[in-house]
Each structure stands twice: as structure tokens, then as C-alpha cells.
Amino acid sequence: FFFFFFYFQYSFFFFCLSFFLFSSSLSFFFSSLSFSSLFFFLSLFFSFPISFLFFFFSYFLFFFLFFFHLFFYFLFFLFFLFFFFFLFFFLFF
């Protein structure tokens, strides 16, 4: 389960990264096709901030999920530590 969750986080992060690269390359493509400077500036103003926002949001979400599930690993570790400690205590004393 944790391996699947870890894999899902990495795949989601690389999917967002590829989407960011794809949208930025599309904006460059459309700006190079355009003949007017107005369309060039419009493509820069609309495509780049959206892709940057999406990329940074996915980056933040990735690190949030990463540290969040590390925190749960730590909680499970403490739980098993106390569980085995009490098991050992009740069995041998």
C-alpha cells in the first residue's frame, strides 16, 4: 500500500512536470506562429502563468504529501515500538 502511494506521488509529480513543459512549449509554438505582437504577448501572459502556477502547485502538493506520509510512517513506527514493548513486558514480567 505504501509503495503504491509512493509510486502515485512520483507519477503525479512527473505528470505535472510534463504538463508544465508541454504547455510552455505550446506557448512558444503559438507565439512563433503568430505574426502580430499582440498575440505573442497574449500567449505569454496567459499560457506561462497558468503553467507556472500549476507546476508550483503540484510541487507544493508533492512535498506536502511526501512529508505527510513520512509523518504517518513515524506514527506507525512509534505504535509498533510501543506495541512490542508492551508485548515483551507482559510476556516476560
- Mind listing the pLDDT tens digit for each residue in 1-50? 555 555 555 566 666 666 666 665 555 555 555 555 555 555 556 655 65
Residue type, 52: F
pLDDT digits (tens, 9 = 90+) for 61-75: 666 766 776 777 777
As given in the structure block, the three cell numbers for residue 25 are: 512549449
CA distances from 62 to 20, 29, 53, 67, 87 (A): 15, 29, 14, 9, 37
Rounded to 5°, the CA angle 12-47-59 comes to 30
As given in the structure block, the three cell numbers for residue 8 are: 502515485
Residue with the larger pLDDT of the pair 53 and 82: 82
Q: How many Å apart are CA 50 and CA 38, to the nearest integer? A: 18
